[in-house]
Amino acid sequence: MAVAAVAGAPELPEKPYFRIGEVAELVGVEPHVLRYWEREFRAIRPTKSAKGQRVYSRRDVENLLRVRHLLYAEGFTIAGAKKRLGRGALVAEETHPASEPPPSEPGATLAAAKIEGAQAERAKARENLLAIRGAIEAFLAGLDDGSAERSRTGPGADDSPIR
């Protein structure tokens, strides 16, 4: 299942690598803008195919969508977006190590599948944790409501003697 990196962003196709034209279309900017952002944002590092074409990973595309959102939707400057993204808004580097082979090398598909599997597991764990958090918050809210109810209906509330 594909996950959109930013609210309102297009859903990414289920594939590990994208060419610059595909990425430009997904992100909604011209290819020269992508090349500029590569120079400005260290976390965006496409590899080169055997033919010398830029090949973007899913992580790169997700980071580009975040950059575009910050610059165009939230009105950040390049410097402001760098600061904001430096505080952890980019997809973690551990999920896509730089030593991963580009798609033209043997084993690239297997490595990409492992990475996507780990990302899917992490996303599922996050969803589970958020569900647990919601249940705990609802439980605590119920306790708060219940304690107020007990204080009104508990012993002494109607001034009758306790038996």
Which tens digits make up the pLDDT trace of 147-156? 555 555 555 5
Please, what's the largest Cα pairwise distance for the chain?
90
pLDDT at residue 33 in the model: 96
> What tokens does 74 get?
């939230």
- The reported pTM is 0.51
Give the separation between CA 109 and CA 115, rounded to whole angstroms: 10
In a domain, 93, yes or no: yes
In a domain, 6, yes or no: no
Residue ranges in the chain assigned as alpha helix (H) = 20-27, 31-40, 58-68, 78-84, 108-153
Give the separation between CA 54 and CA 21, rounded to whole angstroms: 10
Indicate the pLDDT class of residue 95, thresholds 50, 70 and 90: very low
- The structural domain count of the chain equals 1
Percent of the chain predicted with pLDDT > 70: 67
* Average pLDDT, integer, range 81-93: 70
* Average pLDDT, integer, range 51-63: 93
Q: Which residue has the higher pLDDT, 4 or 118?
A: 118
* Average pLDDT, integer, range 51-77: 93
Please report, for the domain that includes residue 23, its CATH number: 1.10.1660.10
In a domain, 160, yes or no: no
In a domain, 46, yes or no: yes
**Burial group, residue 33, by CB count within 10 angstroms (0-12, 13-18, 19+):** middle
Which tens digits make up the pLDDT trace of 98-145? 445 555 555 556 666 777 778 888 888 888 888 998 889 888 888 887
In a domain, 59, yes or no: yes
pLDDT at residue 62 in the model: 93
What's the domain range around 78?
17-153
